[in-house]
A and B are shown apart, each in its own frame.
Chain A
Amino acid sequence: MKRPYYIFSSGRLRRRQNTLFFEKAAGERIPDDQDETGEPSGTPSGERIPFPVEQIESLYFFGEVDLNSKLLTFLARHDIPAHFYDYYGNYTGTYIPRDHLHSGRLRIEQVLHYVRTKRRLYLARAIVEAATYNLLRVLRYYVNRLEGTRRETVSAAIATIEQERAQLRSAEKISELMGIEGRSRDAYYGVWPAILSDGPGEAFVFEKRERRPPSNEINALISFGNSLCYTTTLRQIHRTALDPTISYLHEPGARRFSLALDLSEIFKPILVDRAIFRLVKTGEVTPRHFEERLGGVYLKEAGRRIFVRYWDERLRQTVHHRRLERHVSYERLIRLECYKLIRHLLDPKNEPYQGLHMWW
């Protein structure tokens, strides 16, 4: 079974005959923006780790890694994408081997569903509908475990999101849908302190969602988790004939693969937010896993390792799929979401898209 590999150490990754070798480097890594030479920060330590190329589904580079075009060619032959993160854990970009799954017909339908306002609105609405439903599912899970004012706070947020959702059907512009989504998320993040502030979670302060840079530990976790969700989704889209640049809720990407942003919305509550609650509430992640840099708060390497380990386990957990009559992993659910979208694009009347509603 292929799976993603996450590389936190620094060093050099090279092709060696028909597999991969990681040569570890010793020494401190210099932050990317303080280095003007482009030279590797560390020196080879002599430690070599073989990598089984046949088992790699994708590579995540969190350390400082040297590589050459021979390696990229080799990765392309095995269809392995490589995701890069900078010194601070910000997502930098992805190397994607040349894509071989193309369907002209599907591409045309994707474009038509964007250009025709009604069709675009249908898909954007379905995405917001599912994303906000999953927000509610997360809150409903916690509201029963809370008492007193904290319970009331969360109940109030649930009511707010339900009111927002009631306006979905009458929304006639993408901007209105974005507004519903945004206000639902504000209400949702607004009650995180009520959910988190006991036990180990008391150590964290979270007032509101702030990005670029993340203003506190919880925001740093959300940003990091969302970027993992984005690359995981992108990876699944690339395994289909869908064009990741054509999207419906987000404006098609001048910068990003915006279809991955669209589909991530549905999975963020299920995958990212629940992971954060879990890691904070069990005390697995604590304030000492963060550092302040450039006016923002970021996860340190140890913290990233903890998050990624949990994320990876989580993606491989399974739930029972009723229609397929078997267990599928969380990661596979993202792929199935792509397939549902393809079915809609090919035949919107008979196979209308419905976003994933958490059913378990």
Chain B
Amino acid sequence: MPELSITGTLVNYFVLCRRKAWLAVHGLWMEQESEAVALGRLLDETTYADELQHVNVEVEGHEGLRLAGRIDWAELRDGVLHETKRSPSGLEAHRWQLRFYLWLLKLRGVTRPDGRPFEGQLNFPRQRRTEAVTLTADEEARLRTLVQELHQTAALPTPPPRLENRRFCKKCAYEELCFG
């Protein structure tokens, strides 16, 4: 298997469904036709256009794991990372994705001008709502194991089984690839 770069999107997928993460790692992306994803992309391109956008961060994590993040947009002076999402469904996965980015900055030693760590904010422009996300020491430890588990899953020779709860899969871009 080629050396894997773990990204925020993969962390997001992994929290939702291990199979989805495995498929994405192996080059099977299904989002090209999903209208929800197209809408999300448009939303990303058209909202918060004045801020510093799409910051790429790469870090060598523990045990040589390569971690990479593409941050939606950042307010550097105030030290806030933003992640724009179409809707709060899959909220837990969104939170972990953003915590992953906060973690990357911490590993890189990037802080606010006053030395405090960056904070995160999930933005739901369609719902006109935001949610603050921070990174506690416990969550940092959880991210470490999450990333390792993701790495192990990616190395499996075959995709992990489908989820038991198909209601959850109904909205997934991978539904037809898994169940069709």
How many residues in A have their beta carbons less than 8 Å from beta carbons of B?
23
**Residue B177 lies at the interface, judged by CB distance under 8 Å to chain A:** yes
Closest Cβ of chain B to A319, distance in Å, is 13
**Which of A101-109, A177-185, A280-288 lines the interface with chain B?**
A101-109
Min Cβ gap A174→B in Å is 26
Enumerate chain A residues within 8 angstroms of B161, measured Cβ to Cβ.
350
Q: Given the complex of chains A and B, what is the CA–CA distance between A102 and B178 in angstroms?
A: 18
Known contacts A239-B33, A346-B159, A347-B159; decide if A339 and B27 are in contact (CB<8 Å): no
Inter-subunit contact B27/A106 (CB<8 Å):
yes
| Cβ distance A349 to chain B, nearest Cβ, rounded Å | 8
Query: A241 — nearest CB in chain B belongs to which residue?
Result: B28
A346-B158, A347-B158, A350-B158 known; A324-B29 Cβ under 8 A: no
Q: B28 is contacted by which of A100, A106, A321, A349 (Cβ under 8 Å)?
A: A106
Check if A105 sits within 8 Å of B159, measured CB to CB.
no
Q: Does B175 contact A (CB under 8 A)?
A: yes
Q: Give, as a whole number of angstroms, the nearest-CB distance from A213 to chain B.
A: 38
- In contact, A342 and B28 (Cβ under 8 angstroms): yes
Q: Contact residue range for chain B?
A: 10 to 19
A328–B175 Cα distance when bound, in Å, is: 13
Q: A336: which of B27, B28, B32, B180 is its contact (CB, 8 Å)?
A: B180
From 70 to 109 in chain B, residues with beta carbon under 8 angstroms from any chain A beta carbon are none
A339 to B175, CA, bound (A): 10
Most buried by A among B32, B161, B175, B179: B179
Query: Once the chains bind, are B176 and A324 in contact (CB under 8 Å)?
Result: yes
Q: How far is the CB of A80 from chain B (nearest CB, A)?
A: 14
Q: How far is the CB of A354 from chain B (nearest CB, A)?
A: 13
Give bound CA distance, A62 to B176, whole Å: 33
Q: Which residues of A contact B177 (CB under 8 A)?
A: 339, 342-343
A323 at the interface (CB under 8 A from B): yes
Q: How far is the CB of B101 from chain A (nearest CB, A)?
A: 26
Residues of A300-335 at the interface with B, using a CB-CB cut-off of 8 Å, are 321, 323-324, 328, 335
Q: B177 → chain A, closest Cβ, in Å?
A: 5
User: Is the CB of A340 closer than 8 A to any CB of chain B?
Assistant: yes
- B41 interfacial contact with A, CB 8 Å: no
- Judge if B26 is at the interface, Cβ distance under 8 Å: yes
Q: Are B159 and A104 in contact (CB under 8 A)?
A: no
Q: B136-172 interface mask toward A, CB cutoff 8 Å, 1 = contact, 0 = none?
A: 0000000000000000000000110100000000000
| B159, B161, B176, B178: most-surrounded residue (chain A CB, <10 A) | B176
- A residues sitting closer than 8 Å to B (CB atoms) are 100-106, 239, 241, 321, 323-324, 328, 335-336, 339-340, 342-343, 346-347, 349-350
A/B interface sample: 13 pairs, CB < 8 A: A103-B27, A241-B27, A323-B179, A323-B180, A324-B180, A335-B180, A339-B180, A342-B28, A343-B178, A346-B26, A347-B158, A349-B158, A350-B161
